[in-house]
């Protein structure tokens, strides 16, 4: 069976209002994430990455004790019932590591059970100043965090691997094998991050055997599912995910869906002095306008800098990376229009991939419908982002775009 999976979603606040991810929305609670996935997004398996926070652990236990969530035999918590679709929540924790030679990076550990997560949280509390907050520094190298995670049966995934801040390739090493040594074999997958895609990552030889994950790293409810994976597995559980990442027993990543990398916040190098995004051929390592070296290096520029090959060399197991422009990025789709679309089609996934153009036009008008279809087909003009600024759809003054059935 094919399952829609977004395995990197943050929590903004606990149910009691205590902050967890400072930069995330206040309504991004553990339970609200499950509700959003089940009722609006069409996500079958969601990884919530702040579950080791003690107030979040309290929320989880309260939901389990109340019967709102049920631990699954294969790992994960099941939410939902007759009133709405079901979703499985994977319990996960993201922490920041420090390499001895310098550089910080983020990594996500996924746990098979609530007890395993609790054991990990207790063990890591000796190395973290404030366990309540998200993505905290744990004063250890990534290899040590990997070893600790494995003690509790976790899956370990380096997060947003190419971004310029706090990522393995972006700020630590040129090769992950140097970071993990002989433990590199225990890393079955990496997370690409929203400014990269499979075609860029497949220019690096050491990643050929690894599965790629495209996750949203959502900091608000609407951003859930901005990137996601279609995973072929028998059920949306921890055990099945482990098999899929290692491509065992017919399980596999069947497709990656994500933003066109140009829409990402760090796709190209950005000058912090004159605030210009690089337009020249990569790698651009200093400002091409004012010559400043005070730049935030772009993901594209970094990959070109360290790549083994000028062109991607995807292995036979690599699925297609399919670009999507989330509805929030489509010009003219505000909150009212978004709610109208979801109410009409059931979920954002259905709007993006299944709704017929003519029916869309009757729901939101021909211009917005045509933009949604162009976004679906990868023909919507885009301007690249950089330096923390998202790229954007740029249809210009074309007005209604000419599509069959919408004229």
For residues 312 and 321, the answer to whether their CB atoms sit within 8 Å is: no
Residue tagged 């094919």 (tokens)? 2
Residue 30, helix vs strand vs coil: helix
Domain for residue 301, yes or no? no
- The residues, ordered by sequence, that sit 6+ positions from 31 with a Cβ below 8 Å of its Cβ are 15, 59, 63, 68, 79
Greater pLDDT, 111 or 222: 111
pLDDT at 332: 87
Domain for residue 190, yes or no? yes
Query: Per mean pLDDT, which range of 220-224, 325-329, 352-356 is the poorest?
Result: 325-329
What does R_g of the chain's alpha carbons equal in angstroms? 21
Confidence of residue 1 (pLDDT cuts 50, 70, 90): very high
pLDDT at 169: 97
Domain for residue 156, yes or no? yes
Same domain, 230 and 344: no
pLDDT reading at 139 higher than 80 = yes
Q: Is the pTM of this model over 0.85?
A: yes
Alpha helices in 335-379 (DSSP H): 335-345, 348-353, 357-364, 366-377
Number of structural domains in the chain: 2
pLDDT reading at 141 higher than 60 = yes
Three-state SS string across 392-405, please? EECCCCCCCCCCCC
How large is the average pLDDT for residues 45-50? 98
Please give the share of the chain, as a percent, with pLDDT higher than 70. Answer: 96
pLDDT at 403: 41
Same domain, 340 and 243: no
What's 37's DSSP letter?
Answer: I
Same domain, 229 and 354: no
Condensed to tens digits (0 to 9), the pLDDT of residues 281-320 reads: 999 999 999 999 999 999 999 999 999 999 999 999 999 9
The backbone torsions φ and ψ at residue 317, rounded to the nearest 5 degrees and listed phi first, read -80, -10
Same domain, 106 and 222: yes
Which own/partner contact pairs does 184-188 have at CB distance under 8 Å and 24+ positions apart? 186/146, 186/150, 186/156, 187/146, 187/156, 187/157, 187/158, 188/155, 188/157, 188/242, 188/245, 188/246
pLDDT reading at 84 higher than 70 = no
Domain for residue 291, yes or no? no
Q: Cβ–Cβ contacts within 10 Å for residue 353, how many? A: 14
CA distance 196 to 317: 19
Same domain, 116 and 244: yes
Residue 68, helix vs strand vs coil: coil
pLDDT reading at 393 higher than 80 = no
CATH number at residue 142: 3.20.20.140
- Give the end of a domain, one of 230, 261, 292: 261
Condensed to tens digits (0 to 9), the pLDDT of residues 89-107 reads: 999 999 999 999 889 999 9
Same domain, 255 and 353: no
Condensed to tens digits (0 to 9), the pLDDT of residues 309-349 reads: 999 999 999 999 988 777 878 888 888 998 899 899 988 77
pLDDT reading at 271 higher than 70 = yes
pLDDT at 399: 41
Domain for residue 161, yes or no? yes
For residues 252 and 317, the answer to whether their CB atoms sit within 8 Å is: yes
pLDDT reading at 83 higher than 70 = no
pLDDT reading at 397 higher than 80 = no
CA distance 136 to 5: 25
Greater pLDDT, 159 or 372: 159
Domain for residue 84, yes or no? yes
Its domain, for residue 360, covers 327-384+392-407
Domain for residue 316, yes or no? no
pLDDT at 349: 77
Domain for residue 227, yes or no? yes
pLDDT at 377: 78
Q: What element of type H or E holds 81?
A: strand 77-81
The chain-wide mean pLDDT, for the chain, equals 91
Greater pLDDT, 347 or 81: 347
How large is the average pLDDT for residues 351-377? 88
- Give the end of a domain, one of 206, 228, 261: 261
pLDDT at 331: 85
- Give the end of a domain, one of 211, 246, 261: 261
Condensed to tens digits (0 to 9), the pLDDT of residues 158-216 reads: 999 999 999 999 999 999 999 999 999 999 999 999 889 999 999 999 999 999 999 99
């Amino acid at each position: 069976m094919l399952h829609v999976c977004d395995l990197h979603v943050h929590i903004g606040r606990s149910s009691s209002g205590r902050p967890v991810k400072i930069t995330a929305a206040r309504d991004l609670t553990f339970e609200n994430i499950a509700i959003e996935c089940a009722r609006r997004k069409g996500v079958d398996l969601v990884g919530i990455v702040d579950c080791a926070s003690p107030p979040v652990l309290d929320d989880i236990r309260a939901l389990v004790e109340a019967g709102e969530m049920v631990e699954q035999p294969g790992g994960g918590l099941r939410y939902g019932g007759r009133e709405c679709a079901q979703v499985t929540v994977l319990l996960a924790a993201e922490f920041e590591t420090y390499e001895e030679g310098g550089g910080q990076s983020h990594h996500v550990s996924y746990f098979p059970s609530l007890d395993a997560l609790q054991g990990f949280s207790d063990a890591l509390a000796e190395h973290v100043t404030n366990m309540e907050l998200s993505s905290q520094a744990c004063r250890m190298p990534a290899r040590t965090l990997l070893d600790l995670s494995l003690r509790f049966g976790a899956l370990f995934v380096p997060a947003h691997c190419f971004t310029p801040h706090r990522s393995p390739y972006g700020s630590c090493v040129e090769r992950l094998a140097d970071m993990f040594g002989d433990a590199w074999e225990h890393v079955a997958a990496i997370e690409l991050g929203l400014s990269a895609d499979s075609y860029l990552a497949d220019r690096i030889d050491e990643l050929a055997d690894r599965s790629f994950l495209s996750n949203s790293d959502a900091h608000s409810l609407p951003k859930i599912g901005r990137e996601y994976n279609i995973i072929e597995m028998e059920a949306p559980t921890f055990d099945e995910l482990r098999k899929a990442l290692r491509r065992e027993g017919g399980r596999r990543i069947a497709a990656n869906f994500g933003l066109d990398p140009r829409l990402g916040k760090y796709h190209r190098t950005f000058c912090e002095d004159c605030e210009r995004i690089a337009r020249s051929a990569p790698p651009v390592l200093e400002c091409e306008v004012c010559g400043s070296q005070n730049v935030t290096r772009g993901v594209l520029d970094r990959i070109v800098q360290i790549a083994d090959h000028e062109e991607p060399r995807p292995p036979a197991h690599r699925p297609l990376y399919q670009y999507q422009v989330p509805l929030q990025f489509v010009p003219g789709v505000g909150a009212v229009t978004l709610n109208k679309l979801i109410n009409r089609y059931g979920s954002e996934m259905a709007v993006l991939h299944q709704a017929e153009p003519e029916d869309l036009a009757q729901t939101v008008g021909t211009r917005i419908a045509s933009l949604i279809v162009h976004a679906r087909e990868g023909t919507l003009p885009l301007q690249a982002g950089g330096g923390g600024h998202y790229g954007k759809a740029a249809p210009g003054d074309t007005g209604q775009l000419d599509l069959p059935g919408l004229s």
